[in-house]
Amino acid sequence: MALNWFKFASPASFYPIAGRLIPIFWVLTVALLAVGLYWGFFETADQLGGGNPQKEYYRIIFIHVPAAWMSMWLYVVLVGWAAIGLVFNTRLSFMMANAVAPTGAIFTFLALWTGAFWGRPSWGTYWDWDPRLTSELALFFLYIGYIALHSAIDDTRRADRAAALLAIVGLIMVPLIFWSINCPDPNQCAALHQRSNLMHIEGNILFSMLIMTLAFWMYSFATSFMRLRSIILTREADSSWVQDILTQEDRA
Amino acid sequence: MFRVFWTVLKRDLTLAMRRRTDVLTTLFFFMIVVSLFPLGVGTERKVLMTLGPGVVWVAALLASMLALERLFAADYEDGTLEQMLLTAQPLSLLVLAKVAAHWLLTGLPLVLIAPLVGMQYHLSDTAIGIMMLSLLLGTPVLSLIGAIGAALTLGLRGGGILLSLLILPLYIPVLVYGSGAVQVSDIAITDTQPYLTLLGAFLMMAAIFAPVAASAALRISLE
């Protein structure tokens, strides 16, 4: 069966689908959060030994790492939709990119914030010019730049396309920025952040971390789709199907 | 094709020469920012020597960014830019010419004034030489990347402050290696080679890709 993907590219046909998907994603979010948090609080060790001993506070990892992962992944998603929008000229793609941006920015901020609170007890400082902190901060600025440029342009079509181009340029620059921060001296490279390797993480901690990541992922779907629906309604306010929906909802 | 480049370059330079103060403003902004830092952090010789390279580079970043607003603005207002979009010549070539002219007017003066600023910060002669070299390689990259931002924010209200928000994060690599080169030049002059090679690589990449992206941005802004 050939599935016609372009059918769903129309805001009118995707609006009801998003509406039906949102509750599912919320349920998944809450369920995964419950499992992930329970596992993280009660099924993991209270103390961590090894090279860098950590007390209870290491449990920030269950928010911190998933938030950092999502912040990076969502930027790729944003650029993906922006690029699809520029290539195929589909309105919904731009709306999707737009809807993802605030969620991504929030996760970036969350990663920085939780990182600061984790850094205080374990490194003795809220902030350090460590490569990963600095590059996460740069990523935050990229999100803010995208949102700011989009909201500064009144004409929607120009705003969509200009912000999309900026996001793509940003993605091309991201490796350069990250790499230059990671390796400020090309003669030698060093970093404060522990080198992480998923294989070395204790099973329970890894499980809880991955469940939390999934929960954040589902949360991103839910919030992006909610935002997407509002964007669709705002932009298509003049079309007849939106009028129909609004009158229906008024009656109900 | 080379003639088109040359014509646009000469035109922009002539126009700028008719309003010389614009060029000088950027230069004096750079000098004022650099001169303010010692007043803020104290005039101790050792502090200034450590801060020098970074301050000069950040000031160069800000100066070239502030000048960016003027890159397309005048041509946009009098309609020249629209005519440029309509010509049969490749737009990215015209953009490259405009950026080149812009750099000659705002970037090159910074390179030439750098020794004076370096002396204010008690930098050694080798450090000043490396600083000039790194600015010579780095400031064109700033102009090239900045052109994308200038094209995107064309004609927007509050364009200047928005431009800085969009462009400054993208300037990070140039800043890191530009000021890094000056910092290591005091330890061993051979250590600066990787920095300068990287800046050169940035310059070549930016010269190829930035005009294309900037002309795409111009088409978006003017359609």
Tokens describing residue B76: 């946009």
Measured torsion, CA atoms of residues A41, A47, A52, A58, in degrees rounded to the nearest 10: 20
Please tell me the predicted confidence (pLDDT) of residue B143. Answer: 93
Domain count, chain B: 1
Gap between the Cα atoms of B57 and B135, Å rounded: 8
More reliable by pLDDT, A5 or B67: B67
Please tell me the predicted confidence (pLDDT) of residue B22. Answer: 79
B-proximal residues of A, 18-37, CB under 8 Å: none
pLDDT digit string (tens) for B89-110? Answer: 888 899 999 999 999 988 899 9
- What is the span of the domain harbouring residue B89? 2-222
- A159-173, A196-210, B60-74: least confidently modelled range: A196-210
Check CB contact under 8 Å for B169 and A141: yes
- Closest Cβ opposite residue A169 in set B148, B156, B202: B148
More reliable by pLDDT, B56 or B186: B56
Interchain CB contact of B54 with A (< 8 Å)? no
For A97, the enclosing helix (H) or strand (E) is helix A91-123
Contacts of A240 (CB under 8 A, 6+ apart): none
- Nearest chain B residue (CA) to A172: B170
| CA distance to partner chain B, nearest, from residue A197 (Å) | 27
Contacts 24+ apart (CB under 8 A), B82-88: B82/B222, B85/B218, B85/B219, B85/B222
Q: What topology is assigned to A21-46+57-234 in CATH?
A: Four Helix Bundle (Hemerythrin (Met), subunit A) (1.20.120)
Sign of CA dihedral B154, B159, B165, B169: positive
Within a 10 A sphere around the Cβ of A2, how many other Cβ atoms? Answer: 4
**pLDDT for residue A198 is more than 90:** no
Interchain CB contact of B116 with A (< 8 Å)? no
The structural domains of chain A, with segments of one domain joined by +, span: 21-46+57-234
ipTM of the complex: 0.83
pTM exceeds 0.80: yes
Please tell me the predicted confidence (pLDDT) of residue A50. Answer: 62
